[in-house]
């Protein structure tokens, strides 16, 4: 039987999951890959650290290049996270003719194009199923069984931290800070949660999804994004009144070759399958021209779910090792197009607007008229008395260009029809 | 560039979808497969029939063996449906060294083991992603990115006809016959709906899912099943009162190596992701030891969604053609185990029981006591006055063995505590 030797870079959360699956489900993995897959060496920062699993000491090393330069090792699995070191190690491994699997969204979103080219030139595979939505096999699904589709749209709940926080705010009527603290206590949010709550993590993942779905690379820095730090319990309750849930969506839509993409907190109708994706769960909703609507739902993070995706990649690589498949199939996931991209300034959306108005007659009429004057039509309005002389009024607006909306809002505030625009959120349509 | 020649057996619903995708999304398919995939010949029953798509007449033939025996053709795609002819053609094609893709659940569920062995001996691929849940890539997902998991359970809504009928009964308070008629008018049910509504179609699909998930073949005839023909609007409404939706589930669960499997109409708690799968949609809910809970949701039938899965298989085959991959990888999806199977007589379930009782004191107490005497505990009871002297009483029972339940029910009917047992349904726990 073919022997495949694996070097793990990193034995943290995902490294431990990967190690457990490879050592516990060995019989099935051997049968399906037709290979004996052995872990040859593991990079750690401290050999003597106490770990939740028993790993033979002789497997451990503190020198990454003992793995990357080893003539024995076929597959390097990068699980250290971060960008610079991970990039250095993956690049060196590919140049040494090693296949690479990684769970690192940041390094693929920032250096993926260069690394995929290096992989192709060196006739090795670079796989990264675990980099988006953990255990959900979205990348393989789009690349393989769904490859006959031209994808029209992909919308993801790809960050478990923010989805947990928004779910708690919605179900238990918590304010943002309280829900964040609870998420940190339960291990769903990090001590510094900024990359999650500000949408950076979701933007990395969206970048990778667009590469696979549309064959287009967009720098994560160029993805328009808003986080969830300014979301109030009040807005979530109002949204619920209108029949919507608030979710942090990472989306991209191909309208006749023009691509619109974003990471925004967005109102999702309760009847939409994404609305019922709660707590730390992730989901990907995709539309293909042939398959229609599909949704994948599961755990987007965690040691074992993410390890599951890493092991899937290792098995894919193992199957190819020793065959001539790599000589004739491009290692690159999809031919990159040079399609012209359009940023989202001109693109349309439905909107939810929360105004604070003085409790006096006429405000509702003036605001509504101002929207009409700017060609914006109103889907619904809700006015709630707070028992004070300041009253929130909520509008749900039909699709409008952002520029039109900004003009109307300038008009409304300049004329003092309202005291304050409390929030502006998008509505998925 | 590599050229791959395809022969289609059948140009019905799925054949047309497959033809459209291959001819419309050619550029993408060529890029991803690194192959020029051409349709060389198509089997039809009538060359001159008017079709919704324009197909060059010279591609059509009425002789299957013109395709199966053609030295030009690499891939035979079986889309004629039914069992006997499809089996004959697939077998002959494999023996001739052709790769085969099929959307035919009946032929794979009844002859799949033999056909997979023939494929393996002839070093060709036999793929059937389209045979279960149409466009949802469940087979590839379990075989590839999730292959590191030992699967614990798989529960599917795999029949769109019955799901449409049950959804209409629930949402629009229709009786079964009315909903069936509407399904037939909308093209979601066939003129003879028996294979769908009696659960046979779901049993075929479950057979294939068990083969992939557990490596175990169970004859579809040996899968315990109940259809939906006896489901009443009343039971759906009562279930809804308790917070449940009624779904036709095809499920299999591996409890420490013992397999329980079934096709039953089952009450599903509204908070469960399967509960919100409505109308003609399908979904697969799976539990893996590493990945945890995953759900795939999408269109389980239809020309384009099913064609999407067929094209995914054709591309997988095209990638392998001309490589030596097939010489060293088994064509069989998963090594078949000889694990001892246990039928479901001993297995436990929660139950929903609808009794008709006389409107007289004591009946509720007697029935409840009888359950207690047989060691069955009650989760909830609902009694509804109908304004007549016959009153329905609904019990939701905690997990019990079927044998225990039958003993208790015999006791209850023998002692005339109730006038009638109106229905017995399982509850997913």
Average pLDDT, chain A: 92
Residue in A24, A309, A329 closest to B34 by CB: A329
Check if the beta carbon of residue B161 is closer than 8 Å to that of residue B197.
Answer: yes
- Has residue A172 been placed in a domain? yes
Provide the b/e sequence for A363-381 (b: ≥16 CB within 10 Å): bbeebbebbeebebeeeeb
Predicted confidence (pLDDT) per residue in B185-209, tens digit: 999 999 999 999 999 999 999 999 9
Give A318→chain B minimum CA distance, Å. 11
- For residue A25, list chain B residues with Cβ-Cβ distance below 8 A: 148-150, 289-290
Predicted confidence (pLDDT) per residue in B82-105, tens digit: 999 999 999 999 999 999 999 999
Q: Is A282 helix (H, G, I), strand (E, B) or coil?
A: strand
Check if the beta carbon of residue A328 is closer than 8 Å to that of residue B323.
Answer: yes
Check if the beta carbon of residue A28 is closer than 8 Å to that of residue A315.
Answer: no
Residue A344: DSSP 8-state: G
What value does the mean pLDDT take over residues A354-363? 84
Residues B179 and B291 in one domain: yes
The label of the residue with tokens 């040494």 reads A96
- For residue A75, list chain B residues with Cβ-Cβ distance below 8 A: none
The pLDDT value recorded for residue B42 is 98
Strand boundaries in B99-159, DSSP class E: 99-102, 126-127, 151-157
Distance CA A245, CA A276 (A): 8
Residues B178 and B262 in one domain: yes
Q: With 90 as the cut, is the pLDDT of residue A383 above it?
A: no
The pLDDT value recorded for residue B333 is 47
- Has residue B177 been placed in a domain? yes
Residue in B143, B308, B315 closest to A288 by CB: B308
- Has residue A374 been placed in a domain? yes
Residues B39 and B116 in one domain: yes
- Has residue B333 been placed in a domain? no
Backbone phi and psi for residue A122, each to the nearest 5 degrees, phi listed first: -95, 10
Domain boundary among B281, B299, B317: B299
Residues B396 and B312 in one domain: no
Residues B178 and B265 in one domain: yes
Residue A225: DSSP 8-state: B
The pLDDT value recorded for residue B287 is 97
Residues A283 and A308 in one domain: no
The DSSP bridge pattern shows strands A2-9 and A35-43 to be: parallel
For residue A268, the enclosing domain spans 139-299
What value does the mean pLDDT take over residues B158-187? 96
CATH code at A91? Answer: 3.40.50.720
Structure tokens at B2: 């590599």
State the virtual CA torsion across A309, A315, A318, A324 in degrees, nearest 10. Answer: -90
Residues B146 and B288 in one domain: yes
Residue B340: DSSP 8-state: P
Q: With 70 as the cut, is the pLDDT of residue B360 above it?
A: yes
Per-residue confidence at A293, pLDDT binned at 50, 70, 90?
very high
Per-residue confidence at A31, pLDDT binned at 50, 70, 90?
confident
Residues B168 and B95 in one domain: no
State yes or no: is B205 an active-site residue: yes
Count how many domains chain B has.
Answer: 3
Residue in B291, B304, B324 closest to A324 by CB: B324
What is the ipTM metric for this complex? 0.88
Q: How remote is the C-alpha of B95 from its chain's centroid?
A: 29
Position with higher pLDDT, B336 vs B290? B290
- Has residue A218 been placed in a domain? yes
- Has residue A335 been placed in a domain? no
CATH code at A418? Answer: 3.30.70.260
Distance CA B370, CA B299 (A): 45
In the 3-class helix/strand/coil scheme, how is A396-421 assigned residue by residue? Answer: EEEEEEHHHHHHHHHHHHHCCCCCEE
- For residue A129, list chain B residues with Cβ-Cβ distance below 8 A: 145
Q: At what angle do helices B160-171 and B233-241 cross, to 10 degrees?
A: 70
CATH code at B248? Answer: 3.30.360.10
Q: Count the residues in chain A.
A: 429
Residues A170 and A248 in one domain: yes
The pLDDT value recorded for residue B326 is 61
- Has residue B341 been placed in a domain? no
**pTM for the predicted model, two decimal places:** 0.91
Interface test with A, best of B140, B147, B268, B330 (most A CBs within 10 A): B147
């Amino acid at each position: 039987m073919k022997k495949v030797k694996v070097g793990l870079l990193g034995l943290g959360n995902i490294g431990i999951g990967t190690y457990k699956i490879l050592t516990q489900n060995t019989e099935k993995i051997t049968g399906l890959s037709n290979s004996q897959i052995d872990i040859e060496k593991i990079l750690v920062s401290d050999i003597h650290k106490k770990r939740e699993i028993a790993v033979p000491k002789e497997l451990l090393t503190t020198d990454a290049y003992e793995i990357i330069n080893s003539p024995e090792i076929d597959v390097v699995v990068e699980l250290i996270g971060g960008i610079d070191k991970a990039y250095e190690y993956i690049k060196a491994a590919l140049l040494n003719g090693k296949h690479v699997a990684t769970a690192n969204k940041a390094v693929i979103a920032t250096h993926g194009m260069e690394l995929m080219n290096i992989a192709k030139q060196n006739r090795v595979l670079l796989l990264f199923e675990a980099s988006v939505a953990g255990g959900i096999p979205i990348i393989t699904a789009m690349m393989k069984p769904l490859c006959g589709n031209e994808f029209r749209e992909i919308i993801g709940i790809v960050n478990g931290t923010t989805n947990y926080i928004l779910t708690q705010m919605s179900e238990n009527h918590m304010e943002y800070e309280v829900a964040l603290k609870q998420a940190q206590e339960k291990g769903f949010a990090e001590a510094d949660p900024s990359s999650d709550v500000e949408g950076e993590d979701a933007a990395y993942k969206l970048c990778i999804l667009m590469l696979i779905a549309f064959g287009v690379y967009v720098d994560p820095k160029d993805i328009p994004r808003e986080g969830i730090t300014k979301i109030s319990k009040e807005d979530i309750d109002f949204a619920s009144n209108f029949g919507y849930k608030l979710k942090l969506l990472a989306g991209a839509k191909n309208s006749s070759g023009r691509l619109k993409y974003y990471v925004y907190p967005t109102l999702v109708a309760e009847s939409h399958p994404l609305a019922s994706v709660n707590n730390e769960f992730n989901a990907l909703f995709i539309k293909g021209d042939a398959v229609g609507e599909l949704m994948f739902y599961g755990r987007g993070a965690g040691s074992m779910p993410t390890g599951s995706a890493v092991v899937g990649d290792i098995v894919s690589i193992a199957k190819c090792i020793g065959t001539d498949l790599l000589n004739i199939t491009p290692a690159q996931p999809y031919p990159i197009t040079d399609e012209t991209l359009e940023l989202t300034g001109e693109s349309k959306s439905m909107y939810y607007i929360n105004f604070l108005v003085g409790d006096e007659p006429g405000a509702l009429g003036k605001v509504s008229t101002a929207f009409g004057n700017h060609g914006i039509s109103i889907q619904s309005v809700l006015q709630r008395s707070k028992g004070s002389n300041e009253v929130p009024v909520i509008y749900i607006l039909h699709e409008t260009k952002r520029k039109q909306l900004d003009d109307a809002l300038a008009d409304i505030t300049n004329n003092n029809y309202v005291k304050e625009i409390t929030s502006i959120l998008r509505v998925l349509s």
